[in-house]
Amino acid sequence: MAGRTEAILARKGEIMKRALGMDYAQFERSPIAFDYEAMMAAHGYSLDEIIRIQLAGGVGKTPLLELRNLTDLIRSYAEPGHGARLFVKDEAANMAGSFKDRRASISIHAAKEKGYAGVIAATSGNYGAAVSSQAARASLNCIIVQEAFDSRHVGQPEIIEKSRICEAFGAEVVQLTVGPELFSHMLELLDETGYLAASLYSAFGISGIESLGWELAEEMTALTGAPPTHVVVTHAGGGNTTGTARGLRRAGATSTQVVSASVDLSGLHMASDTDFNRKSFTTGHTGFGVPFATWPDRADVPRNAARALRYMDRYLTVTQGEVFYVTEAMAKLEGLERGPSGNTAMAAAMSLARDLPRDATVVVQETEYTGAGKHHWAQLNFARANGVEVRAGDPTESVPGKSIVIPERPEQIRAKDFDLGKMRRSYVRNALAHAGEGYAPTSEDIEFLAADTHSDAESVEAIIAALKEA
């Protein structure tokens, strides 16, 4: 088995080149720099064409809702003159119930256009449902490879629910236990079938999210007279932040602050068998958010189109208990029962809006469907069953994997700023390490690193100098 895995991994470049329909080598400029914008444009679809493709697939033009009751609640405990208006883009209205339908729609369209017989995606999340749904509409075969269980073959209710919906759309679901086999097994299936790799991190998928940023900017301008002052985005692998920010820029919303948000699961290892079922969030947490922001090219594609650090102005973290509280508050106050993962950004937005002036506008950029295993009560019951303490109290007392403390009052919701400077240093260190020992960055490399870290050449040079001295 080990020999077979090594053999398939040794051929990953050849397999992925065929499965992605793109030669990434044409964009490389050095061991560090590559032509990001050329890669993003290589699929050849304009934003207008992307919107047309998505509408034909039942995707996009989702409702933008003002959350007046939540706004009033925030203003009841904010300082005088504070409490921004809160809005949400209800992406649960898409075909498979999340913003990831936008991502999947372009990959599936490309697969159909290029003559692939089917698609394969490795995911435990909403993306699997989105790919399965869009593949069904396009009459393409679909295989979803999923990390579903720990070594006891016990799976989180949210993951099992996502398996169910993928199968409902006609996909074949290959379920694995947690571990390093996910990528190698996907490669093996791609090699055997010749299907398109509908990667979360390809230019197809990230470009598909640009329509979301563009839509909300246009809709907010029509509704309020200006683009939003802040957009809050749940952050995991980085595609959500990247695509939304690019869409905002396309709409001319260059002054809108892009705020990423993740659940704080520090201390838990995402590939650990013992930790696998002691987290209540399969995505939108720091276990993905930090590693992918500080080294995006850890993905299944040669160069990741999701480069969140390029676009984020702030990175906020919240606790699991705060997200569960906000999930219930949305249902009780706004009549929106939506999945907890999508409410990660909502929890951060409530904290953010509290400190902003009343004339500011905060848009939570997405929701996701809920039901069965995705429901927050199912998640909390599963946490208890796995020895996690669940109680009401001060959410700052939460310990990931050991306790979920749900706020007793909304004013206890307080997001924390993650240090972007620290993340930039980690990214530059990783880039230098992957370039190889002794490699001297060129001026083109410095320019690329400055863009990729949302900073400037002087800052990058200072980081490199400090790393050399360390």
Whether residues 376 and 363 fall in one domain: yes
- pLDDT tens across 3-25, in order? 788 888 888 889 999 999 889 99
Q: Which of 417, 436, 458 is the last residue of a domain?
A: 417
CA–CA distance from 177 to each of 51, 151, 165 (Å)?
37, 6, 19
Whether residues 409 and 430 fall in one domain: no
pLDDT at residue 6, rounded to an integer? 84
Whether residues 300 and 328 fall in one domain: yes
How many angstroms separate the CA atoms of 43 and 41, rounded?
6
Is residue 291 over pLDDT 80? yes
| pLDDT tier at 181, thresholds 50, 70, 90 | confident
Between residues 35 and 438, the one the model is more confident about: 35
Is residue 281 over pLDDT 90? no
Q: Is residue 105 part of a domain?
A: no
Across 8-12, 67-71, 249-253, 464-468, least confident range:
8-12
Q: Is residue 163 part of a domain?
A: no
Whether residues 425 and 402 fall in one domain: no
Q: Is residue 233 part of a domain?
A: yes
Q: Average pLDDT over the chain, rounded to whole?
A: 95
pLDDT at residue 244, rounded to an integer? 98
Whether residues 251 and 308 fall in one domain: yes
Q: Is residue 210 part of a domain?
A: yes
pLDDT at residue 202, rounded to an integer? 95
Give the chain's domain count.
2
| CATH number of domain containing 346 | 3.40.50.1100
Whether residues 331 and 431 fall in one domain: no
* The token pair that represents 240 in the structure block: 């959500």
**Of the candidates 314, 325, 333, which has an alpha carbon nearest to the alpha carbon of residue 259?**
314
**Of the candidates 375, 353, 374, 376, which has an alpha carbon nearest to the alpha carbon of residue 364?**
353
- pLDDT tens across 301-342, in order? 999 999 999 999 999 999 999 999 999 999 999 999 999 878
Whether residues 323 and 337 fall in one domain: yes
Whether residues 450 and 393 fall in one domain: no
Percent of the chain with pLDDT over 70: 99
Q: Is residue 324 part of a domain?
A: yes
SS3 296: helix
376 and 325 Cβ atoms separated by less than 8 Å: no
Whether residues 236 and 373 fall in one domain: yes
* The token pair that represents 366 in the structure block: 């997405």
Is residue 268 over pLDDT 80? yes
pLDDT at residue 2, rounded to an integer? 62
Q: Is residue 309 part of a domain?
A: yes
pTM score: 0.96
Please count the other Cβ atoms lying within 10 Å of the Cβ belonging to residue 409.
9
Strands 230-234, 389-393: parallel, antiparallel or unpaired by DSSP?
unpaired
Residue range(s) defining the domain that contains residue 361:
54-97+205-417
pLDDT at residue 363, rounded to an integer? 98
Whether residues 253 and 378 fall in one domain: yes
pLDDT at residue 165, rounded to an integer? 93
Q: Is residue 144 part of a domain?
A: no
Q: Is residue 297 part of a domain?
A: yes
- pLDDT tens across 78-100, in order? 999 999 999 999 999 999 999 99
Is residue 1 over pLDDT 70? no
Rg, the chain, Cα only: 21
Whether residues 297 and 446 fall in one domain: no
**Tokens 């398939």, residue located:** 8
- pLDDT tens across 357-375, in order? 999 999 999 999 998 888 8
Largest interatomic CA distance in the chain: 66
Is residue 193 over pLDDT 60? yes
Whether residues 360 and 441 fall in one domain: no
